[in-house]
Amino acid sequence: MSIIGAIVSYKGGITGSDGRKHTSAVINGDIIVKPSEVETDEFDKTFRITNNLIGAFCGLLFFNKKNISEHIADIHSRVISYNKNFKDVVQRIADELNDMVNKIPDSEVMPQYRKVDILIVGIISKGKMGAAKIRLPFSDENNIQPQIRKITKKSGNQYFLFGDDDAQKHAKKILDVNNAKNNDICFMKTLLRKALENGIKNSGISPFSSNASCGGKVFWKQTI
């Protein structure tokens, strides 16, 4: 697991991620036959679909020979031709990606390991930003759908986190003590970087190896 985050104000948004990517572990039943290893610490889990539609992902990073951001870009290219509403675009991305995740062959990824967390940030209208948290696959029992929040001037800065529990807890410590009213992009970028760096430094151990879940370079994208 990695750590990803976003900070959003009515002026725009920032998404960020750590850079750690693990190799696939070989698992037989509940037994790890071959632990995962750190493949790279410079894998960018953030993405830009348009100037004003950005995001980040963690959990399962690849399937069907494409990473999650490439799958999202493919879906968006089909959706945007007839729908530019933020909420509807997010819902279509979530629905189509959920369907794709559920159809991954067991030989590639077993069902219990097909977990994807996604943050998407975009403009709803002038002076209004939107942020969405998506957890895949959807739960049949709870029918979990994307959580979409509208952010205006009155909302102040809003932050969102996904990923390793320990990393989230320590990133949250940085974000929770911030009392500054500044909501421009440069400030949000600095704050998110500090939060993610603290999360990376204090992340838990990967469930598939003895290596830390998070690590490496902090990547980011901003709305333009």
pLDDT, residue 81, reads: 62
Q: How far apart are CA 128 and CA 123, in angstroms?
A: 6
Q: Which residues of 47-70 are buried (b: 16+ CB within 10 A; e: fewer)?
A: bbbeeebbbbbbbbbebeeebbbe
Q: How far apart are CA 17 and CA 101, in angstroms?
A: 22
CA angle 112, 49, 84 (to 5 degrees): 100
pLDDT, residue 142, reads: 55
Structure-token pair, residue 107: 């030989």
Q: How far apart are CA 45 and CA 21, in angstroms?
A: 9
pTM of the model as a whole: 0.94
pLDDT tens-digit profile, the chain (224 residues): 899 999 999 999 999 999 999 998 888 877 888 999 999 999 999 999 999 999 999 999 999 999 999 999 999 988 776 667 899 999 999 999 999 999 999 989 988 899 999 999 999 988 899 999 999 998 765 556 899 999 999 999 999 999 999 999 999 999 999 988 899 999 999 999 999 999 999 999 999 999 999 999 999 999 98
pLDDT, residue 80, reads: 72
The dihedral formed by the CA atoms of 101, 89, 221 and 36, expressed in degrees to the nearest 10: 0
pLDDT, residue 28, reads: 80
Residue 207: asked if its preceding bond is cis (omega within 30°), the reply is no
Q: How far apart are CA 168 and CA 26, in angstroms?
A: 27
Kind of pairing between the strands at 31-34 and 38-40: unpaired
